[in-house]
Structure 1
Amino acid sequence: MVTFGGTGVMLLGIGVAGLVCCLVALVLARPLGWISAIAIAGLVWSVVVIALVTLVPTSPDTGFVPAETRMTTCSWDIGGPAPDGFWIFQSGQRTLNTALFVPSGALLVVAVARWRAGWLLAPAGLLGLAAYSALIEKTQLELARIDRACDVTDIIDNATGAAIGAVLGLVAVVVIRVVSSHPASRS
Structure 2
Amino acid sequence: MVTIGGTGVMLLGGLAAGVVAVLLALGLRRWVGTFTAVSVAGLLWSLVAIALVTLVPTRPDVGFVPAETRSETCSWDYGGPSGAAFQVLGLDQRTLNVLLFVPAGLFLVLAVGRWWAGLVLAPIGVAMLAAYSLGIEFTQLQLARLDRACDVTDMVDNILGAVVGFVLGVVLLAVLRPWRGRRAAD
Q: TM-score range by the shorter chain?
A: over 0.9
Alignment partner of 1:68: what SS?
helix
Match of residue 54 from structure 1: 54
Root-mean-square deviation (Å)? 1.8
Return the offset for 1:41: 0.1
With the length of structure 1 as denominator, give the TM-score of the two structures: 0.93
Counterpart check, 1:159 vs 2:152: no
Give yes or no for contact 2:137–2:150 (8 Å, CA) kept in 1: yes
CA distance in 2, matches of 1:150, 1:128: 19
Contact 1:43 1:108 in 2 (8 A): yes
Matched, 1:94 2:94: yes
Instruction: List aligned pairs for 1:58-97, cutoff 5 A.
Output: 58-83=58-83, 84-86=85-87, 88-97=88-97
The CA deviation string for residues 130-161 of structure 1, in whole angstroms up to 9 with x for no partner, is: 00000000000011001000001101000000
Q: Judging changes above 3 Å, is the alpha-carbon distance between structure 1 residues 15 and 99 closer, same or farther for their aligned structure 2 residues?
A: same
Shift of the alpha carbon at 1:120? Answer: 0.5
Q: Which runs of 4+ in 1 moved over 4 A?
A: 178-181
Q: Is the 8 A contact 2:98 2:160 kept in 1?
A: yes
Structure 2: distance between partners of 1:152 and 1:114: 34
Give the unaligned 5+ runs of structure 1.
none
1:1-187 correspondence to structure 2 within 5 Å? 1-83=1-83, 84-86=85-87, 88-177=88-177
CA contact (8 A) 2:114 2:178 kept: no
How far did residue 82 of structure 1 move? 2.2
How far apart in 1 are the matches of 2:178 and 2:9?
A: 41
The number of aligned residues is 182
Alpha-carbon distance in 1 for matches of 2:121, 2:73? 32
- The alignment-based identity, stated in percent, is 60
Structure 1: how far apart are the matches of 2:113 and 2:75?
Answer: 37
- AA aligned to 2:168 is L
The answer (yes or no) to whether the contact 1:85–1:96 under 8 Å persists in 2 is: no
- C-alpha distance in structure 2 between counterparts of 1:178 and 1:74, whole Å: 42
Give unmatched runs, 5+ long, in structure 2: none
**3-state SS of paired residue (2:73):** coil
Structure 2 length as normaliser, TM-score?
0.93
For 1:22 and 1:52, locate their aligned partners in 2 and report how far apart those are by CA, in whole Å. 18
CA displacement, residues 76-119 of structure 1 (integer Å, 9 cap, x when unaligned): 01122224344x42211100000100010011001001121100
| Contact 1:101–1:162 (CA under 8 A) maintained in structure 2 | yes
Cα distance in 1 for partners of 2:136, 2:179 equals 38
CA–CA distance in structure 2, aligned partners of residues 93 and 177 of structure 1 = 35
